[in-house]
Amino acid sequence: MRPDPASAGRPLGQDASTRPVGAPRQASLEELGRPLSELTFVIVDLETTGTAAATSEITEIGAVRVRGGAVLAEMSTLVRPSGPIPAMVSVLTGITDAMVVEAPREAEVIPTFLEFARGAVLVAHNAPFDLGFLRAALERCGYPPPAWEHLDTLRIARRIITRDESPDCRLGSLARLFRSTTEPSHRALADARATVDVLHGLFERLGNLGVRTLEEVHEFTSRVSPAQRRKRHLADELPTGPGVYVFRDAHGRALYVGTSRSVRSRVRTYFTASEPRTRMAEMVALAERVDAIECAHALEAEVRELRLIADHKPPYNRRSRHPERAIYLRLTDEPFPRLSRVRDLRDDATCLGPFASVRDAQDATDALLAVVPLRQCSGRLSPRVHRPACALADLGRCGAPCDGREDVATYARHVELARAAITGDPAPVVDAATRRMSRLADEGRYEEAAHERDRMVSFVRAAARGQRLAALTRITELVAAAPTAQAGWDLVVIRRGRLVSAVTVARGIDPRPWVDAAVASAETVLPRPGPAPCASVAESERIARWLAGPGVRLVRLDGEWSWPANGAARAAEHYATLAAAAAAEQHPAGSPPATGRR
């Protein structure tokens, strides 16, 4: 081979920048990138006992090893957790304690999976969920923290799948879009196989966009447009403390409302790769200015955010835009009360809720009526005028006060049982639903058992919300203080569940005069009917969470703040993790609702 004249006389190792223009050069692997067609991927899916990796365990692992579009191997195994599998999880996945009684333990399965995934790029749908559980399992088994390179099909899909193609980016929706040969079924291997088809469909889309290497995929899913970066100056004059920010278009219309402990820092992230939500790029493209409202502390900022969203209904806010759409189930005031679905509470009658949707309200209604035979017919009944009973009376689901089989006193016992379950202990509803769930699960009727679960959870959640709201909103005035990181105090004045004054007191200053000033300058709130009469449900619930935070102290209390010792709050907390697991299987992270996995 003849030497290259351009390299003659240049010492070995000389920097390539001295090479004459146009001379040939060997590109590095980093510059070339790793073609997707030449890489090995391991697509993994897990089933677990809950949603928190720190407190839940793996019950099943399914994995598929692929390269160049071809399946090389598959792995599937049940895993025996250290404790029983919650009934609601068994209903969701079909994995029961009996199925895992002879399954290997986590410590036996993890080494096998590590060997199966050796040298491959891990792939999962909503990867943070699965990788979080794998990392926790490795830590429990004594393995060092892994440095897995991974791809998230959910994140990729959000960048290239439009709403015209699919209403959301759940695994089931994407599997239908890409015509997967396997339907996701909440079992690990089936879901992993479906994710393989989704991955290949996404790779085909990426190839059409010129994205052909793993490095290009990483860049594609995190890149920010030049137009987006050019608007960084919109954050320059914003305050650095807590507050609310409002993105507005050229006509001054509110596009998006948010809150942060540091407004300027948070707004800057919308112009960088640290803001992963695709719709925010659309919003930033329309934004022409950002307004800010400084607040005394984080709670005031969060409450102002809720109020601004409700007032302006910005198109890029997904939550809290329509507080007026809350639904309640009200026990009517008549000789033979029934459950009536209403949006506006005009009296202090017993009510269940609020509910976010008609479906949730109907589920809770079904759960209660399965235990309490309230009448389901509409219209007002008179104890003196009888009419023929409907089929529900023959089925034993109604005492038939319409034809005189039950008088007012007898029917009143049903009403009191319903009122006690709504305002106190929901155990009759929970126990009955649990028995039906167990029976249906034993018969392999998992879908029906899941319906029972959904109905029971809807009732318990609504009862707990109503009891907590009623406890807070009947307080005439409440003053509370929370310690700050700078050894000062965040003060709030709450009247009937509404934030009416907020102050921050610096370290070393006597807070008592500030309390008096905050109370004196606070908004006047008149009593109104309903569990959240003087503020939105979201505002009162946010205040309640703040009051339950660490270190919060009650300074003044005009009234009584309590809820039933055996009320729905205890049941709601008991089922919170299990209900979150069910919701997570329905909605991917970052989609409504904002928790969970798929």
Active site residues: 186
DSSP 76: E
The C-alpha atoms of residue 192 and residue 123 are separated, in whole angstroms, by 9
What value does the CA radius of gyration of the chain take, rounded to a whole number of Å?
29
List the beta strands (DSSP E) in 17-69: 40-48, 58-67
By CB atoms closer than 10 A (0-12, 13-18, 19+), residue 15 is: exposed
Q: What value, to the nearest 5°, has the Cα angle with vertex 457 and ends 343 and 330?
A: 25
DSSP 548: T
Burial code (b: 16+ CB inside 10 Å, e: under 16) for 47-78 equals bbbbbebeebbbbbbbbbbbeeeeeeebbbbb
Query: How far apart (Å, rounded) are the C-alpha atoms in residues 532 and 549?
Result: 21
Q: How far apart are CA 201 and CA 198, in angstroms?
A: 5
| Terminal CA-CA length for the chain | 58
User: DSSP of 109-128, one letter per residue?
Assistant: HHHHHHHHTTTSEEEETTHH
274 burial class (0-12, 13-18, 19+ CB within 10 angstroms)? exposed
Q: Which backbone phi and psi does 505 adopt, to 5 degrees?
A: -110, 130
